[in-house]
Structure 1
């Protein structure tokens, strides 16, 4: 990866297979196998995403194909049982679909997947029409970004922006996505801000910040201990 990916549009897959609500059960299974996917968006006649059918939805037919009556004569997991008898995408799908816009930050998409426990998200325009799909693997691809690219962006977007004319005193090393900042800066209050901003650069795995303030002058600060080691007599 050579550029800076920061939003869903940078990493999403644009070639997407989708279903109409009337797609039959066997057609859904066949499409999943042919495309090697575990979930498919379902569209209405206007191309808007109205739901998602996953392998979990399809497997309910196998799970509840037999006896579903509990010991007290009540039907257990009623909603799943209803789905188990569904035969079209519109009946099987989980709705409304959990979607994301192409302008959404990658962190937002990752949090949405984690909170809603889904492996991929349809990417839609503001009117709900399908543009693409973003998966967990798409989000992880940002961590394949070259260390040199990361270092250049940290220098440009963080260090130079924060420290201005004193930016050259900051050394930036990046190895396997881990950023190390060393050197002396005049404004120590900006050090934690530099660490947070560097951590937000796409592709950064972790940040080690060892920035310190300017060296002391004992003649100007006689009441403060001098941290420099003294030479042996």
Structure 2
């Protein structure tokens, strides 16, 4: 529906490879290699996400393999290297609590979560924390594959529904490769920044070129008379 923002449920992958907390180290590594996945959610017996195991969680095993991980003198900058090096199950290796997202979260909210926590994917959970899917960076970028005609329709809807229902004349909307160009004249130029912000928020918009101007002024044909 035009004007309705995409949410995580629209783009997430519903078939997810996941682990139980008892999964062992080599099984985890094999699963990552087989499915070409760099991180896996870890579930409890009820299917709730309790953590995530990533390749970074496995690497300390290699980093300390030629040294005794029980040796407290072994340097570990983040303080967790020794613990991870000794770990052998998903429950011991996982980062917990997991950073998750709700299916009804907007793509912008999911993107901010990924950026804030520096992760490439998020388990999608319901209100009880049960795994429903997974959303990745590439999933969030899929909206930029929308066709220009679809984007233009949403832009026109936003303009008509919110601000410019009675412009001086119809607003021109052109979209090329996701870049929106707005042309025409509006009655109140103070609303233009808000128009641009609304258009930029439409899913799939790459950029906005705003060429909107104020109302046309009729020429004063008789300078001796006051302009109306």
TM over 0.5: same fold? yes
Hey, what's the Cα distance between the residues in 1 that align with 2:155 and 2:96? 41
- Could you tell me how far 1:217 is from its partner in structure 2? 3.0
**2:123 corresponds to:** 122
TM-score (norm 1): 0.87
Hey, what's the Cα distance between the residues in 2 that align with 1:102 and 1:27? 29
- Could you tell me how far 1:165 is from its partner in structure 2? 3.2
More divergent stretch after superposition (154-163 vs 169-178): 154-163
- Could you tell me how far 1:156 is from its partner in structure 2? 1.1
Secondary structure in structure 1 of the residue aligned to 2:127? coil
Secondary structure in structure 1 of the residue aligned to 2:108? helix
2:177 is the alignment partner of 1:211: no
Equivalent runs, 1:84-233 vs 2, <5 Å: 84-166=85-167, 169-219=170-220
> Does the 8 Å CA contact 2:42/2:94 hold for their aligned counterparts?
yes
User: Which ranges of structure 1 fall in alignment gaps of 5 or more residues?
Assistant: 223-233
Aligned positions, number: 219
More divergent stretch after superposition (74-83 vs 102-111): 74-83
Hey, what's the Cα distance between the residues in 1 that align with 2:168 and 2:124? 39
**2:66 corresponds to:** 66
Hey, what's the Cα distance between the residues in 2 that align with 1:152 and 1:165? 18
**2:46 corresponds to:** 46
C-alpha spacing 1:163/1:75, structure 2 compared with 1 (3 Å): closer
> Does the 8 Å CA contact 1:154/1:201 hold for their aligned counterparts?
yes
Hey, what's the Cα distance between the residues in 2 that align with 1:214 and 1:134? 46
C-alpha spacing 1:73/1:124, structure 2 compared with 1 (3 Å): closer
> Does the 8 Å CA contact 2:3/2:157 hold for their aligned counterparts?
no
Hey, what's the Cα distance between the residues in 2 that align with 1:76 and 1:29? 22
C-alpha spacing 1:38/1:73, structure 2 compared with 1 (3 Å): closer
- Could you tell me how far 1:219 is from its partner in structure 2? 2.9
- Could you tell me how far 1:33 is from its partner in structure 2? 1.4
> Does the 8 Å CA contact 1:68/1:76 hold for their aligned counterparts?
no
Hey, what's the Cα distance between the residues in 1 that align with 2:220 and 2:116? 58
- Could you tell me how far 1:5 is from its partner in structure 2? 5.7
Hey, what's the Cα distance between the residues in 2 that align with 1:50 and 1:31? 18
> Does the 8 Å CA contact 1:5/1:142 hold for their aligned counterparts?
no
Hey, what's the Cα distance between the residues in 1 that align with 2:172 and 2:19? 52
C-alpha spacing 1:90/1:199, structure 2 compared with 1 (3 Å): same
2:15 is the alignment partner of 1:15: yes
User: Which ranges of structure 2 fall in alignment gaps of 5 or more residues?
Assistant: 224-228
Secondary structure in structure 2 of the residue aligned to 1:165? coil
> Does the 8 Å CA contact 1:159/1:167 hold for their aligned counterparts?
no
C-alpha spacing 1:159/1:206, structure 2 compared with 1 (3 Å): farther
